[in-house]
């Protein structure tokens, strides 16, 4: 993977342009050695939520913006994650920087402790192949923790351990591509001895020159790639390097991907010219995601190569334009909910702030007539001075403090419940996006659209409509749940209409939710207390129920049902997914929440490869 210094520069520019001054709303491990940060920012002119993905994987190390929430495929809660949730989650991303010519990004954050003390931290992303790392630093530049701890036994020169001073990667003793002189380049290549190709020589002698960049430089300077040092136009090579880095310093990037048999085989922050088939893309993050997706598709194809799908009925293809329209509407609802949550969380204050506002107002009333007109603050015997609006009288300032006290007191009482409601609605929309991707027939797409229309998700915010009206829009029977536990009429086809499907696994009936209402029906009508209930751990997905009929569920059936839950989740493209399972009696529907939301306890977790419904014999 060619995540070189030029790519790092393009990512740095994109993150600064998109995330700077944004608020971190969530941090999680999408997989081992990787982090995902949800950042709400107004940097692009309108408030929007973005996902920053960074990985220290030895083969797929990278940092980029993700088009959607990265699924969590690991249960690990590492010391690094705990520190990030304490010091970075809820904080502000002040800046993103790249040390010159390095494959390193440094993200600077500020946040406040509960006591009000300002915390300053820095997340260092070293994207250097097998030596990659993610390192959290404190204000003094000491390591708080890292994705990979590097003791002296592994690297005596550069240890990476908590409470040790952070030392950046040592500079390379190579030529600077930004100021490269033709004579110096030729001399360095000749002094190094014979090389089979000019590209190899450039990688060895020029700083921040990856094999892909060397290939492009040679092609642009000579019109072909098979050039040896003895036939080199050194002036053209130096000028090509200067051009690449001048564009990077001016943030003039033109990301592209190279294709071979329709598959992405390379990406770069510039227009690739040494490949026959090249496609421009909107951003360097999109280029990286397409390259990663091409590799993931191969991995998943290889992992399920032995699965033979059972014959199924021919299905009418889904109208993809309808799916795109519904996705756009859901994403708009998602943005509105995130903005609402951000606003609610900002309005929330603690008890001490409420008490401070009340005491300030009372103290100002005791000073009526004692302060000169136009005063901007009043000292207090203890604590910070009380700030005043100079154009108001002391009494008017006191009244303003009492008004702020009343609002803060009301917020302290009402806002936590409003935040909880908005969080439930956000979970529902996240699930809805996954279910939309899984819809396999026009009927399923129509049922989803009808459900979301009833909940007000498809109104687009017209007339002040907000996604927060989800609960009010839900029909009463749907909010409270039915008491009956009978099957939907019409066998399997009726089950599909009811928002779930029935499949048979070794004589056990397995139900798979296909909509929010379908998930809700599994909990309220279909599942008995001692049936098994499964769901992908910590990520949006379908409910799955194994109807045991009082029998013990064999491990083979349990693992196949877990694979179905993984295959009907946001992480269905991952090679392995954590799936929780428990008895239905330990699953509680979220009271008053949108359909299909549930909390559970007493769970155990399996890690399985995802499986689609088509790979299981249907119970038609």
Contacts of 257 (CB under 8 A, 6+ apart): 264, 266, 267, 272, 278, 279, 281, 287, 290, 291
When pLDDT is averaged across residues 278-287 and rounded to a whole number, the result is 94
Q: Write out the DSSP string of 179-197.
A: S--HHHHHHHHHHT---S-
pLDDT at res. 328: 85
When pLDDT is averaged across residues 3-19 and rounded to a whole number, the result is 96
Domain contains 410: yes
Residues 29 and 90 in one domain: yes
Domain contains 223: no
Residues 602 and 491 in one domain: yes
* pLDDT tens-digit series, residues 225-258: 888 888 999 999 999 999 999 999 999 999 999 9
Best-predicted range by mean pLDDT among 134-138, 199-203, 400-404, 416-420?
134-138
Tell me the two tokens of residue 91.
């904080």
User: Which of 378, 403, 420 marks a domain boundary?
Assistant: 420
DSSP reduced 3-state for 496: helix
Residues 463 and 486 in one domain: no
The answer to whether 452 touches 425, Cβ cutoff 8 Å, is no
Task: Count structural domains, the chain.
Answer: 4
Which band of pLDDT confidence, cut at 50, 70 and 90, is reported for residue 615?
low
* pLDDT tens-digit series, residues 291-304: 988 774 443 333 33
Contacts of 486 (CB under 8 A, 6+ apart): 525
* pLDDT tens-digit series, residues 302-345: 333 322 233 334 455 667 888 888 888 888 888 788 778 877 87
269: closest CA among 125, 62, 124? 62
When pLDDT is averaged across residues 175-191 and rounded to a whole number, the result is 93
pLDDT at res. 318: 67
* pLDDT tens-digit series, residues 37-73: 999 998 777 788 999 999 999 888 999 999 988 887 7
* pLDDT tens-digit series, residues 398-442: 888 898 888 888 877 888 888 888 888 888 888 888 898 888 888
Domain contains 259: no
pLDDT at res. 498: 58
Residues 528 and 609 in one domain: yes
Residues 439 and 559 in one domain: no
Domain contains 290: no
First to last CA, the chain: 46
Domain contains 181: no
Integer CA distances (angstroms), 349 to 41, 85, 356, 383, 387, in order: 21, 19, 11, 18, 18
Determine what percent of the chain is predicted with pLDDT higher than 70.
Answer: 88
pLDDT at res. 325: 85
Q: Which residues form the domain of 378?
A: 354-420
Q: Which of residues 536 and 347 earns the better pLDDT score?
A: 536
Domain contains 446: yes
* pLDDT tens-digit series, residues 461-508: 433 344 444 544 444 444 333 333 333 333 333 344 458 898 888 889
Which band of pLDDT confidence, cut at 50, 70 and 90, is reported for residue 87?
very high
Single pTM value for the model? 0.54
Domain contains 193: no
pLDDT at res. 354: 80
Residues 412 and 445 in one domain: no
When pLDDT is averaged across residues 112-140 and rounded to a whole number, the result is 92
Roughly what angle, to the nearest 10 degrees, separates helices 182-191 and 198-205? 100
The answer to whether 157 touches 134, Cβ cutoff 8 Å, is no
The answer to whether 591 touches 479, Cβ cutoff 8 Å, is no
Residues 342 and 473 in one domain: yes
What does pLDDT average to over the chain?
84
Residues 375 and 466 in one domain: no
H-type helices in 306-393, by residue range? 320-347, 351-366
Range in 37-46, 214-223, 351-360, 493-502 with the lowest mean pLDDT: 493-502
CATH number at 82 reads 2.30.310.10
Which band of pLDDT confidence, cut at 50, 70 and 90, is reported for residue 89?
very high
Residues 459 and 365 in one domain: no
User: Which of 146, 165, 184 marks a domain boundary?
Assistant: 146
Residues 326 and 401 in one domain: no
User: Which of 420, 448, 464 marks a domain boundary?
Assistant: 420
Domain contains 257: no
147: closest CA among 131, 158, 163, 165? 131
Residues 84 and 67 in one domain: yes
Residues 474 and 329 in one domain: yes
């Amino acid at each position: 993977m060619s995540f070189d210094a030029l790519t790092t520069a393009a990512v740095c520019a994109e993150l600064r342009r998109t995330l700077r001054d944004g608020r971190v709303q969530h941090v999680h491990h999408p997989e081992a050695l990787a982090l995902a940060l949800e950042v709400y920012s107004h940097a692009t002119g309108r408030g929007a939520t973005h996902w920053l993905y960074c990985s220290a994987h030895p083969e797929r190390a990278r940092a980029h913006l993700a088009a959607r929430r990265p699924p969590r495929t690991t249960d690990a809660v590492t010391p690094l994650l705990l520190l990030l949730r304490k010091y970075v989650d809820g904080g502000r991303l002040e800046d993103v920087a790249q040390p010159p010519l390095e494959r390193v990004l440094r993200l600077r954050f500020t946040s406040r402790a509960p006591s009000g003390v300002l915390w300053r931290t820095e997340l260092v992303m070293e994207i250097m192949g097998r030596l990659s790392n993610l390192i959290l630093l404190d204000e003094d530049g000491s390591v708080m923790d890292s994705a990979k701890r590097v003791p002296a036994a592994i690297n005596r020169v550069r240890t990476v351990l908590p409470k040790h001073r952070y030392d950046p990667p040592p500079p390379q003793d190579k030529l600077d591509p930004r100021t490269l002189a033709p004579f110096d380049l030729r001399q360095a290549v000749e002094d190094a001895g014979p090389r089979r190709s000019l590209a190899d020589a450039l990688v060895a002698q020029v700083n921040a020159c990856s094999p892909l960049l060397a290939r492009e430089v040679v092609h642009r300077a000579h019109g072909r790639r098979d050039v040896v040092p003895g036939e080199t136009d050194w002036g053209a090579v130096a000028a090509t390097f200067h051009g690449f880095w001048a564009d990077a310093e001016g943030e003039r990037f033109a990301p592209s991907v190279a294709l071979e048999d329709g598959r992405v085989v390379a990406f770069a922050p510039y227009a690739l010219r040494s490949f026959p088939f090249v496609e421009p893309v909107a951003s360097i993050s999109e280029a990286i995601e397409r390259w990663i997706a091409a590799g993931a598709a191969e991995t998943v194809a290889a992992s399920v190569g032995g699965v033979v799908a059972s014959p199924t009925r021919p299905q009418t293809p889904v109208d993809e334009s309808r799916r795109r329209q519904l996705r756009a509407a859901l994403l708009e609802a998602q943005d509105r909910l995130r903005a609402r949550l951000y606003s609610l969380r900002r309005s929330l204050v603690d008890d001490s702030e409420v008490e401070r506002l009340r005491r300030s107002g009372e103290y100002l009333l005791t000073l009526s007539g004692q302060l000169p007109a136009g005063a901007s603050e009043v000292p207090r015997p203890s604590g910070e001075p009380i700030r005043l609006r100079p154009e108001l009288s002391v009494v008017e300032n006191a009244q303003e403090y009492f008004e702020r006290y009343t609002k803060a007191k009301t917020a302290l009482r009402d806002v936590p419940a409003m935040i909880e409601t908005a969080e439930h609605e956000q979970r529902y929309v996240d699930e809805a996006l996954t279910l939309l991707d899984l819809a396999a027939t026009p009927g399923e797409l129509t049922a989803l659209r009808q459900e979301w229309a009833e909940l007000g998700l498809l109104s687009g915010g017209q007339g002040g409509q907000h996604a927060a009206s989800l609960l009010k829009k839900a029909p009463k029977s749907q909010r409270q749940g039915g008491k009956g536990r009978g099957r939907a009429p019409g066998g399997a086809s009726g089950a599909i209409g009811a928002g779930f499907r029935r499949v048979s696994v070794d004589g056990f009936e397995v139900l798979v939710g296909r909509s929010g209402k379908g998930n809700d029906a599994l909990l309220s009508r279909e599942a008995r207390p001692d049936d098994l209930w499964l769901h992908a751990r910590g990520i949006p997905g379908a409910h799955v129920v194994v109807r045991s009929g009082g029998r013990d569920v064999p491990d083979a059936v349990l693992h196949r049902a877990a694979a179905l839950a993984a295959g009907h989740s946001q992480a269905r493209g991952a090679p392995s997914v954590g799936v929780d399972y428990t008895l239905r009696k330990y699953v509680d529907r979220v009271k008053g929440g949108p359909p299909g939301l549930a909390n559970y306890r007493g769970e155990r977790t399996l890690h399985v490869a995802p499986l689609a419904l088509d790979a299981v014999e249907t119970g038609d």
